[in-house]
Amino acid sequence: MRRTPNRCDSRNIILDPLLPWPRLRRLLDDQMLDALVVSTPENVTYVSEYWGLSHWARRGTQVYSVAWNGSTRSVDVIVPATLADEVTEAVAIHSHAHAYGTFPLEHDRFALTPSDERLLELATNDANPPQAFEVLHALLRDRLPSGGRVAIESGGLAEGTAAMIATAMRDMTFVPADDVLARVRAVKSGREIELLRRASTITENAVDAAVTDVAAGTSEDEVAQHFRTSLIGEGALPETTVLGSGPRSALPNAAPSARKLSNGDILRFDVGCRYHHYVSDIARTVAIGTATAEQRSLYSSLSAGLEAAADLLHPGATGSDVFGAALDAVRATGLPGYQRTHCGHGIGIANYDLPRITADSTDVLEPGMVICLETPYYRLGSFGLQVEDTFVITDKGAERMTHAPRQLKEIAR
């Protein structure tokens, strides 16, 4: 049955920030940090709301966001003049934009909108410094004239930039930003949760659409095309399409192929989309025709593992607690030798956030974390099965965002 879309309120897409500011400030205070500088596309968008086409597509483009430690939200974003038109209304509300370089633009002065005026000011200002580093240097000097302690993400910095920063600002202390970023991104804002919920619903709908007309003789490529078309029709972009049938369903990262489905095949999806920058990750398994008794039994064991893990999703539990529950249940109900390196992960603006659902994870669950739980099974040369659902941690436990069937779905045509 097709699920009713849970659409985000378009007003909240602009008004509610992605970044939960009180949490960021607590983490900055914990490490005695005055500011956080980010440079990768995901984190720039997360911190400042700015999405730069070239920044995401060509990862050498220099775009930075700076979040300042303070009781009220204060964020600056540094963009190339060539991408100044992507300073949208959301960016204007949530962050103060600065440009480097210039970009010539013709204009009709009497037909300009406020966003056109903003673009002209940013892109054509001859006073703009030529390099992103110069803007960052000026901002840090202006806000921290006596020096300070700054966490900086190096992943998106051009070669040599980190050394230039350290040399030019010797009175400041620079530390890696990875820990702060991982910890703040682990707990989602209300807006993030709604975007993740919508992305998950779109993906479930797309799997439903992809299997509606599937039958013996349908190719994996055709199933994948129907899946992706459904995603796009609901306003999302394909992110991950792992899809294999028959023996190929046992390949953990199977790309769709020209192989045609036959009665008795297992068809396994491990798929996701990107919706307003946020991603989904779910798995679904169906049998073409009638599944074997063994396949039904194994799927039931995997489902039992996911449900046991889901029962432990509550504030205060650790990732290792959840992992152990999943493995214990699968082993106890039919797969005594079941092994996994992980049984889930946090998800957000990237596919993997904290917490880690692993044997050694000390990550503590908190309200607002969004987690994918999964219990895959791969038998090379035969078939693969997988269950994966998404949950959000609440004050009292967890809310399920997706709904994998408890029994293996069979498609008889």
Domains and CATH numbers, the chain: 21-186 (3.40.350.10), 190-411 (3.90.230.10)
Q: What angle do CA 49, 275, 369 make, to 5 degrees?
A: 75
DSSP 8-state symbol, 346:
E
Per-residue confidence (pLDDT) for residue 28, from 0 to 100: 97
Nearest-angstrom CA–CA distance, 44 and 238:
22
Predicted local confidence at residue 109, as pLDDT: 81
pLDDT for the residue numbered 16: 76
Phi and psi at residue 302, to the nearest 5°: -65, -40
Residue 206, classed as helix, strand or coil, is helix
Say if residues 371 and 344 touch (Cβ distance below 8 Å): yes
Within 13 Å, how many C-alpha atoms sit on residue 300's CB side? 11
pLDDT at 15: 58
Please answer whether residues 319 and 363 qualify as being in contact, where contact means their C-beta atoms are separated by less than 8 angstroms.
yes
Give residue 110's pLDDT: 86
Specify whether the CB–CB gap between 148 and 172 falls below 8 A: yes
Identify whether the C-beta of residue 215 lies closer than 8 Å to the C-beta of residue 411.
Answer: yes
Q: How far does CA 61 lie from the centroid of its chain? A: 21
Mean pLDDT by 10 residues, the chain (413 residues): 39 67 96 97 95 89 97 96 92 92 90 90 94 96 94 94 91 95 96 96 97 94 98 97 98 98 97 97 97 98 98 98 98 97 97 97 98 98 98 97 95 82
Helix axes 178-186, 21-30, angle to 10 degrees: 140
CA-CA distance, 182 to 185, in Å (whole number)?
Answer: 5
What 3-state DSSP class applies to 93? helix
Residue 1: per-residue pLDDT: 34
Distance CA 413, CA 398 (A): 37
Radius of gyration of the chain (CA): 24
Region label for 291, one of left (φ > 0), alpha (ψ between -120 and 50) or beta (otherwise) = beta
Cα dihedral value 405, 326, 352, 154, nearest 10: 180
